[in-house]
A = this chain, B = another copy of it.
Amino acid sequence: MIKYSNGKSYSPKQIKKTEDKKTVSLKRHLSSANRGMDLEEDINASNEYYRERDLCLITKRPTPINIVKVDYSKGAIITNAYFEKQSTTDYNGVYKGRYIDFEAKQTKSKTSFPLANISKHQIEHLKKVLKQGGIAFFIIEFVLRDEVYLLDAKYVIDCYENGDRKSIPYEKFVEVGHKIKRGYAPRLDYLPVIEEIYGKN
């Protein structure tokens, strides 16, 4: 019996059977310190996968940084700077000529996604994207469920502005959202979901 750090014990046979699904999940639980980065890394890796194969071209916007001081004596080392708030969303790009724009979020809640996770700036930005006819959505991970959903921005904005709740229940994601498959390559295959939802219009 092999004891995993989640406290459970498995026989080698059990491990082999469940390996595909559980190993990925276990690896995520084990590296809880890095959990915040998993979703971003998965999306970046998928974007690279798509880029190499010319399936679409979507990239993460660099974090805006306000530079106070640069030391030019040894090249150009920034010695004083601070993080600025992103006034847009984290990801954008192009797919079949259409503009794609989305924000990636995570929640440790199993029952709902807190709308406080979204800043007003991001809502304003996505509204303007929609006004210009762009494709806009959220990719939201329920970390403890190891499930990732794509949810159209119109729906999220409506909840944010007109809803009487401070969160979107998990059930709504199942009902209105689209689950994104996790795998080896690409790690988070969200492009087929975009094609499915937005492909015809």
Contacts and interface: CB of A to CB of B under 8 A. Distances in A.
Interface of A: 51, 54, 56-57, 59, 61-65, 75-84, 87-88, 92-101, 125, 128-129, 131-134
The 3 closest A-B pairs by CB, nearest first: A97-B133, A94-B99, A62-B64
B94 A54 contact: no
A74 to B, nearest CB: 10
A70 B23 CA distance: 34
A57 B61 CA distance: 15
A144 to B, nearest CB: 27
B128 A51 contact: yes
A76 B81 CA distance: 9
Query: Chain copies in the assembly?
Result: 2
A73 B99 CA distance: 41
Given A54-B131, A96-B132, A97-B99, A62 B63 contact: yes
Given A61-B61, A94-B133, A99-B99, 14 more contacts: A54-B132, A57-B131, A59-B87, A62-B62, A62-B63, A76-B82, A78-B81, A79-B80, A94-B101, A94-B134, A95-B132, A96-B133, A97-B99, A97-B132
A95 B65 CA distance: 27
Contacts of A51: 128
Contacts of A75: 82
B82 A65 contact: no
A191 B115 CA distance: 35
Given A57-B132, A62-B62, A128-B54, A83 B76 contact: yes
